[in-house]
Structure 1
Amino acid sequence: MPDTHAVLFQKATQDAKDHLIQPWPSAGSIGAEARGMLNAGEGIYVHDDKGRKLIDGPAGMWCTNVGHRNQALADAMKDQALELSYNSPWYTSNEPSAELARRIAGHAPGDLNHVFFTTGGSTAVESALRFAQFYNNVRGLEGKKKIICRDGGYHGSTYLSASLNGSQRSRNWMDFADGMMIRLSCPDPFRRPKGQSLEAFSDQLVKEFADAVAEHGAENIAAFVGEPIMASGGVIVPPEGYFKSIREICAENDILFIVDEVVTAFGRLGHVFASEACFDVVPDIITFAKGVTSGYFPLGGMVVSDRLLSGLRASNHPEAMYAHGLTYSSHPIGCAVALKNLDILEDGLLDYAREITPYFHEKLKALETLELVGEVRGMGLMACIECVADRDSHNPIRLDTEVGVRIDRHCQELGLLLRPLVHMCVMSPPLVITRPQIDTMAGILHEGISRTMRDLRAEGLWNG
């Protein structure tokens, strides 16, 4: 008899090719593509259609923070579904969303005490941008609409959030609100001019920001939006003090400082929010998603400061409406799952993430002994391995199928799923990962990169 699982996988693969449009498809395969199938997961592992047990190196997509198959989260989802599965946020509210808003506000820095819930990170950033527009319209500053963003950033897939994105690969064939955006340099220390100190690099970036404000006029700029660590840009950690300096310029010029913590919040850096704890800044708005439910349910949101809401309530336009909302805003099931997820984080997992972080980076940093590796960088439980053609010039390797994909292919054969980004490999495992599991992960990465190096040499594509 045929293997039941094999038959099911084969059918699912064919169904995907026949009917499923995947995210970010190429025109040549859109609507006719099947990607690797996963059928189970537990802890830090997932199982694929080839019967392999793989370490989930990217934690899904930066989100499965408490790990797969967590019974407490599954029970919370079931219990809430049987109690109240949905309510219209236009006309009613629910207890889980109110409690979650209170608890999130308790973790947020400064006077960020009010939460608007969305369906994920893209809609969270979109909500923040539309709030910035609304805020200035109500104040009679209709021309104050431009947004400062940066090359290398990633903020979502809705029209406005995607317009912030700084990757050329995502911009070639799509339309964006480019006229609204002021795009500045990527704060990537690895790519700074040779011989330049980190302090000088930071000063250069801050001056660029100040010059942009002067050129475009503070009266025309609504907000700055930035990730404290550029996640999908390659886990780019800016130079120390840079973020705080940008925040100060924003405050001096009535520019909203919006921090995109969709990746860094809810434990990825060992804190519920990283803005103040890790970067010493208190934003006007923080956006979040992913880890808020550990990926068990689509949920996101923004936390807004008292100052902004007080300004709106005191305006001369009490009739002005923030005409923005989503069918699934404040979803009771999502909020119930997030409450239980927060319980788990508060009950020692945040402490554990901070404790395990140095070991995680020590083991991955050892990969820099490999000639193909230009830099291993990161913060908290997120890291990037950037491959280069040579260490002197830092030239990246971008080959026919991309070096990151080659490394990922070898690593999957060895038991590790990672996230390839052209010439980079990104790691952000579930926060529950143990030291022995980190050892295994680092060992697989070493072997996967070594095999890729041999392949490249054998094919005459690299002579490192």
Structure 2
Amino acid sequence: MAAIPKSTGMQGGAMAEEAADELTLLAERHLVQPWPMSGSIGAEARGRIEGGEGIYVTDAAGRRLIDGPAGMWCVNAGHRRRELAEVMAAQAMELSYNSPWYTTNAPAALLSGRLAGHAPDGLDHVFYTTGGSSAVETALRFMQFANNVKGRGEKKLIVSRQGAYHGSTYLSASLNGRPRDQDWMDGAGEQVVKLTCPNPFRRPEGVAAVAFCDYLVAEFKDVIETVGAERIGAFVAEPVMASGGVIVPPDGYLRRIRELCRQNDILFIADEVVTAFGRLGHVFASQEVFGLDPDMITFAKGVTSGYFPLGGVMIAGRLLEELRRSNHSEAMFAHGLTYSSHPVGCAVALKNLDLLEDGLLEHARSISGHFQSSLKALEELPLVGEVRGMGLMACVECVADRVSNNPLTLDLEVGKRIDNHCQELGLLVRPLINMCVMSPPLTISTSQIDDMAAILRRGIELTMDDLVREGLWRG
């Protein structure tokens, strides 16, 4: 067995290189990365990040890269924020853990009040989890529990959308509708109904853009009439589909779907794992941006800016009151996590909220227009099909093969090539097949936005040159 290096801060280039090689070997021999291919599972070492500062990260080769995706949509306050690190350390020294089964802690109580103050009216309770997947899982299990208590055991179907991403736990993953997510994975498909993806750029053939919203609403109405409202327990939606390609739905779509849910006693769950905590300029975007009053809101990621694993579900107080008034006071919501209400995570989230409220939200709103327009200009490139987004999240969708019956292979190649070129130029990109997703830390400046857009432009241009030179694309 290889010896584990005690430190990577070795003096001298040779020693540092030796330590880096050892880390690569350890990863290849022992580390299983998320979302691996079976051909390399448990035997790969992905690019290593050594440090971060503001909107930048430094890789193992010493390159300073703009963190285009902010980690995984989450480093909203930026890397190396001393305020967050100091709070984390102080809370760990004060109280590192308490069991949420029979005790509570001050940070969890304080944070619940702060979050209730930012949530839409009526969403005044929170159940803490450890991330986005467990938050969505919690919301769905609560829906099932509530309907069982009410004697509506058949009202359990969940409505999701094609293109959606809601998590990696068994039930939350069953809601996913992205290409290839479930090709080799089991799920609770019999409990889920998927509607058309609300993507105007990829709307069904023959549906005009002006009629697309009506089409989507009519489809949901038809599902309710066909399946029966008495069998549908919840509709789950990201206000903006994040990992599905930053899909911004047609105007009015979410409000009209919400009204259908209200009319048919279907819980509307807004999945704000990505869109909350400043990504769209507000702590929660549902009401402030989209005029929504969901029954539940799931959150994670930016709640601690990625400094500590934390998530949760905002729950309408009336739903809890209905349970308290039921004839089954003995019914137990037998659901919980060892690290629910973690004192360190909640303390970090409180300080993160301070940063957001003390100017970061306002800054994000003030620069979002420049961010969107800078990336929108990339549509003039022949390889770019569409640039779309909202707030500080955007997607540059490239279309390399517009005629093939199976364009996936070339499109996947395009995403990887753009990512590789951009990393050489100083930008970390998250390629989603043929899409480049940009969601930088909220601390980014206008000049840094210009740098990011310029590098991405050059990366796409170099990719176009590659494809033409190799005879894969005519341009």
TM-score by shorter chain over 0.5: yes
Q: Is residue 135 of structure 1 aligned with residue 130 of structure 2?
A: no
Contact 2:49-2:60 within 8 A present in 1 as well: yes
* Aligned-partner Cα distance in 2 for 1:391–1:190: 13
Q: Which residues of 2 match residues 156-167 of structure 1 at below 5 A?
A: 156-167=167-178
Amino acid at match of 2:164: G
Amino acid at match of 1:122: S
* Unmatched runs of 5 consecutive residues or more in structure 1: none
CA spacing shift, 1:246–1:128, aligned 2, 3 Å: same
Residue 197 (structure 2) aligns with: 186
CA-CA distance at 1:338 after TM superposition? 0.3
Residue 176 (structure 1) aligns with: 187
Residue 6 (structure 1) aligns with: 17
Residue 380 (structure 2) aligns with: 369
Q: Is residue 206 of structure 1 aligned with residue 217 of structure 2?
A: yes
Residue 328 (structure 1) aligns with: 339
Amino acid at match of 1:238: P
Q: Is residue 38 of structure 1 aligned with residue 49 of structure 2?
A: yes
Residue 106 (structure 2) aligns with: 95
Contact 1:260-1:287 within 8 A present in 2 as well: yes
Residue 360 (structure 2) aligns with: 349
Q: Is residue 64 of structure 1 aligned with residue 75 of structure 2?
A: yes
TM-score (structure 2 length as normaliser): 0.95
CA-CA distance at 1:396 after TM superposition? 6.0
Contact 1:136-1:142 within 8 A present in 2 as well: yes
The alignment yields a C-alpha RMSD, in angstroms, of 1.5
* Aligned-partner Cα distance in 2 for 1:304–1:337: 22
CA spacing shift, 1:390–1:15, aligned 2, 3 Å: closer
SS at match of 1:399: helix
* Aligned-partner Cα distance in 2 for 1:315–1:202: 38
Contact 1:66-1:431 within 8 A present in 2 as well: yes
Residue 425 (structure 1) aligns with: 436
CA-CA distance at 1:12 after TM superposition? 1.1
Q: Is residue 252 of structure 1 aligned with residue 263 of structure 2?
A: yes
CA-CA distance at 1:50 after TM superposition? 1.0
Q: Is residue 405 of structure 1 aligned with residue 416 of structure 2?
A: yes
Amino acid at match of 2:390: M
Alignment match of 1:318 (pick from 304, 329, 343): 329
Amino acid at match of 1:287: T
Amino acid at match of 1:76: V
Residue 128 (structure 2) aligns with: 117
Contact 2:50-2:60 within 8 A present in 1 as well: yes
Contact 1:396-1:423 within 8 A present in 2 as well: no
SS at match of 1:112: coil
Q: Which residues of 2 match residues 382-393 of structure 1 at below 5 A?
A: 382-389=393-400
CA-CA distance at 1:42 after TM superposition? 0.3
Q: Is residue 463 of structure 1 aligned with residue 474 of structure 2?
A: yes
CA-CA distance at 1:6 after TM superposition? 2.4
Work out the percentage of aligned pairs sharing the same amino acid: 66
Contact 1:374-1:394 within 8 A present in 2 as well: no
* Unmatched runs of 5 consecutive residues or more in structure 2: 1-11
Residue 8 (structure 2) aligns with: none
Residue 80 (structure 1) aligns with: 91
Contact 1:407-1:452 within 8 A present in 2 as well: yes
Alignment match of 2:226 (pick from 208, 215, 227): 215
Contact 1:73-1:296 within 8 A present in 2 as well: yes
**Segment drifting more, 273-282 vs 190-199:** 190-199
* Aligned-partner Cα distance in 1 for 2:253–2:404: 25
Residue 115 (structure 2) aligns with: 104
CA-CA distance at 1:196 after TM superposition? 4.5
Alignment match of 1:149 (pick from 145, 149, 160): 160
CA spacing shift, 1:138–1:131, aligned 2, 3 Å: same
Amino acid at match of 1:167: R
* Aligned-partner Cα distance in 1 for 2:469–2:222: 49
* Aligned-partner Cα distance in 1 for 2:330–2:207: 53
CA spacing shift, 1:397–1:30, aligned 2, 3 Å: closer
Q: Is residue 229 of structure 1 aligned with residue 232 of structure 2?
A: no
SS at match of 2:419: helix
Q: Which residues of 2 match residues 265-280 of structure 1 at below 5 A?
A: 265-280=276-291
User: What's the CA shift string for 1:74-113, capped at 9, x where partnerless?
Assistant: 0010000000000000010000000001000100002000
* Aligned-partner Cα distance in 2 for 1:166–1:274: 22
**Segment drifting more, 159-168 vs 383-392:** 383-392
* Aligned-partner Cα distance in 1 for 2:360–2:404: 40
CA-CA distance at 1:2 after TM superposition? 4.0
For this pair of structures, how many residues does the alignment match?
A: 464
Residue 5 (structure 2) aligns with: none
CA-CA distance at 1:390 after TM superposition? 6.5
Amino acid at match of 2:27: A
Residue 297 (structure 1) aligns with: 308
Residue 252 (structure 2) aligns with: 241
CA spacing shift, 1:396–1:380, aligned 2, 3 Å: farther
Contact 2:271-2:299 within 8 A present in 1 as well: yes
Contact 1:44-1:55 within 8 A present in 2 as well: yes
Contact 2:400-2:410 within 8 A present in 1 as well: no
SS at match of 2:270: strand
Residue 338 (structure 1) aligns with: 349
User: What's the CA shift string for 1:16-59, capped at 9, x where partnerless?
Assistant: 00100110111111111100000000000000011100000000
CA spacing shift, 1:200–1:294, aligned 2, 3 Å: same
